[in-house]
Amino acid sequence: MAQAASSQFDTHEVSNQSPPLVDVNLLTSDRLLQEMVIREGAAAAVANLEQFGALAGSSEALEWGRLANENPPKLKTHDAQGHRLDIVEFHPAYHALMQASVTQGLHCSAWDHLAIPGAKPKPGANVARCAGSYLATQMEAGHGCPITMTNAAVATIALEPSLAKDWLPKILDRRYDRRFLPPSKKTSVMFGMGMTEKQGGTDVRANTTRAEPLGQRGGGQPYVITGHKWFMSAPMCDAFLVLAQATGGLSCFLLPRFLPDGTVNSIHLQRLKNKLGNQSNASSEVEFCNATGFLVGEEGRGVPAIIEMVTATRLDCAVGSAALMRTALAAAVHHARHRTAFQRKLVDQPLMQQVLADLALDVEAATVLAFRLARSFDHPDDPNEAAWRRVMTPVTKYWVCKMTPAVVNEALECLGGNGYVEDGPLARVYREAPLNAIWEGSGNVMALDLLRVLERDPEPVALVLSDIMTRAAATPELREPAAHLQAMLQNRSQLERRGRELIEGLAKLAAGLLLAEHAPAAVSDAFLGSRFMGSRRYTYGQGLARADVRALIERSLAG
């Protein structure tokens, strides 16, 4: 009876709509990612990543992402009787996402060797972890914040052995433990970070939060921390790395949620940020009311200590942004394959082919650059790789993150109104797209970081530039851009005002070089011809008149 009533009011059959892009293995459908994993040294991880790729692309996991964003975290500052709680509550879908990524080891797998004294890292450990993060971001991006920071915190915590011995075993555990308990009662822990304050922002040396020793001064010792943080990411974590002014200057401290005696630390969450995107993840403002923190390293060495963490998060910013671009491109190609307009599939229409192929080139360039950077993290003792990491971390982070909003915007347009509504995946991706360009250093900060390396540590710059320039000479399209960069570097008095031109030019040159050396001819020829030899342009879908656009589109989404 109910069905008959329904059919009475039906006016049409639903047709010519692309099916949901779900239950797709995000690794096996991505030729480029498979190539990156193998080429950059993590071939042994392919089988494991294939299993995770099936989970990350499943309809169940993608539903977790939807629910976690439609039911954002909530702050509970007090209980019914007025006692402070300072806890953040999450929808079960968020915890399902965290469970998946922690089980995969995305918060710790690059550091597994630390569990065995004297052991060395697995070959390609950082590349494999980044590939997993690339897949997890396509599942849902927001939950990656505590995952990233926990992984990155290890490098800083390891500077203080007295703290590392207690905290690292809990970080290296892959059993996700959401409970608000002292770490001694938990299977695993997660880390957050608090650096910026209202009056300083990026200029962390302007921080006013104070640190006074409870007794003895020095690494691993307890200090009383008083002050605030304008942004403290992932406030539900078990501990945080923060900066505060000690007698010896700006210093780094580990602030646990629970003190060694089992009492709750005086970390008072004031409110959660009402953000443009990143809805599943909590970011907070916080007051430290005589909280207890433990000094990491030496007083006055806070920035060098926490920069280890920041460098690792910048890698994840680049990888995560490339993954968002990949998500958007896959959605656009999938839609174009199924949608008919004017008696032809969109994917068969020349204008759409130009746009999709053009988008695919930027996704390819961003991905190869991000994973080349990941490889450098796997070889810290190699001078050339260490130099690449130092120079190309800000370069890669700048360029990849800057490209992401434009790529997502154009891909969204390929879906028309279906891309703009919240029922589909791209509205959320669009809101997420600007985040990584801001987080862990905006564009200007990345440019200034590169200039700082040029001024203070010219040796790694010389190593990287010599390598790039020598290899660029073998590719005709890259000779003039390389010469332009060299000329710019020789005019040091103008570099600060031209910092963005320099950092973007170096990123594009490095990406072009990697594609020229490794990518299929259809990719490298189109990228070099349109990005270096073509006329200036402001929108996608131009400069590929002679490119094999069909090959570029088919490569972008296998199956």
Round to whole Å and give the CA distance between 176 and 233: 19
Residue 6 pLDDT:
60
- Are 393 and 314 a contacting pair, CB within 8 Å? yes
- The Cα 540–Cα 269 span in angstroms is 44
Which residue, among 277, 113, 275, 107, has the nearest Cα to 191 in the 3D structure?
A: 107
Longest Cα–Cα distance in the chain = 82
Closest CA to 385 of 395, 401, 394, 374: 374
Quick: pLDDT tens for 56-93. Answer: 999 999 999 999 999 999 999 999 999 999 999 999 99
pTM above 0.85, yes or no: yes
Q: Average model confidence (pLDDT) for the chain? A: 95
Distance CA(253)–CA(217), nearest Å, equals 12
Quick one: pLDDT at residue 534?
A: 77
pLDDT for residue 3: 47
Q: Do residues 312 and 160 touch, judged by C-beta distance below 8 A?
A: no
Nearest to 545 by CA among 526, 558, 531, 528: 526
- Cα 235 to Cα 144: distance, rounded to the nearest angstrom: 14
Regions in the chain scoring below 70 on pLDDT: 1-6, 559
Tokens of 348: 């068969």
Q: 48 forms bridges with which residues in the sheet?
A: none
Indicate the DSSP class of residue 233. E
| Whole-number Å distance between alpha carbons of 285 and 232 | 6
Q: Whole-angstrom Cα distance, residue 441 to residue 430?
A: 20
Question: Residue 109, by phi and psi: left (phi above 0), alpha (psi -120 to 50) or beta?
Answer: alpha
Distance CA 406, CA 499 (A): 21
- pLDDT of 1 reads 40
